[in-house]
Amino acid sequence: MKTTAISGRLAAWALGLLALTSCSQQQGGSAEGDKGAAAGSKAPAAGDKAGAQGAIKIALLLPESKTARYESKDRPFFEAKVKALCPDCQILASNANQDASQQQAQAEAALTNGAKVLVLDAVDSASAAVIATKAKAQKVPVVAYDRLVPGTDAIDYYVSFDNESVGRLQGESLLTALGNKPNARVVMINGAATDNNGMLFKKGAHSALDGKVQVVKEYDTPDWSPDKAQDEMTQALTALNNQVDGVYAANDGTAGGAIAAMKAAGIKPLPPVTGQDAELAAVQRILLGEQYMTVYKAIKPQAEAAAVIAFHLATGKPVPTDITGGKTVNNGKKDVPSVLLVPLAVTKENLKDTVVADAFWTKEQICTTQYADACKAAGLL
């Protein structure tokens, strides 16, 4: 896979910024040294001795941990980029575990603790708007990360993928897998109805599927829970007497739940199932033929773009104008300057040239003993 244009620009900025950045503040903590910011933890309270009193503080507010990417990819990539730009900056990282009220408390704690910018991956739209409004009142800029926050003028930047195109890509891939079978029966396992991204994925998928297949059952999955997705798929199979030709699953977690339900029902062979996020378990399911595809989103350039923007905002430096390429997304209140990266459909045929070539997952991580034969068949070993 070719490196995206944004990742190339980030590499160039890093060289120049490192020469300019001496952000060394009194007793500054490193970007990786905030050990108190484990998944589900709150940002340190004001005056916490574990935090660096004089350091420039950047808050990273993640939404949940059921989706593996946030703690295994987004957070470490973001922290590493901030550390490269500003070794003595302190990151106040927290994970809300899909609890909107907890994320609000984490944001308030970060603001109290002196965060100069919030990088917010929202649990839900309504609570995120409240967080952004409070930050704006304290003159703290907000970067909407991965999910746009609609209905507020308090968002300064947005860093994500074209999420409607993600759903359309999933739907088109499912049509390909079905071979344009007339009247194919499809079950749709969408994401959470409270998640703006979930609704965009759903809209994009319908734009591809409507009029070309029968959507025989459709669910919005609370909290993106794989367990709830499994329950939804079980209900669908019972109602449909196991007659299903394909499954639209909005991400890899819900795909895993749907596949577990079909296995429990004894369905063989499994119908094609979509996914998203290129989670390790999903990549391995694709190799085994249990899941048809996933959407690979190059999380590293996404996280690094957010880190570059956050660094500039936190230190009072102008954000480079070419980081967005002039792109904006209207959130219902304003045109938000936006970094929009391009998603990619990944199947067994191009795993080697995408996920593996980019070292998103290594061959050693993917091709454990259980998957060795499938890896050899796919040309990974």
- The whole-angstrom distance between residue 76's C-alpha and the CA centroid of its chain comes to 13
The whole model's pTM is what? 0.77
According to the CATH classification, is domain 163-296+345-377 in 2.60.120.280? Answer: no
What pLDDT is attached to residue 50?
Answer: 39
pLDDT above 90 for 78: yes
Q: Spelled out in words, what is the top-level CATH class assigned to the domain 5-161+298-341?
A: alpha beta
Q: For the chain, where do the domains classified as CATH 3.40.50.2300 start and end?
A: 5-161+298-341, 163-296+345-377
pLDDT for position 40: 45
Does residue 129 contact residue 98 with C-beta atoms inside 8 Å?
A: no
- Whole-number pLDDT of residue 53: 53
Q: What is the pLDDT of residues 260-280, one digit of tens each?
A: 999 999 999 999 999 999 999
Asked if residue 146 has pLDDT above 50, the reply is yes
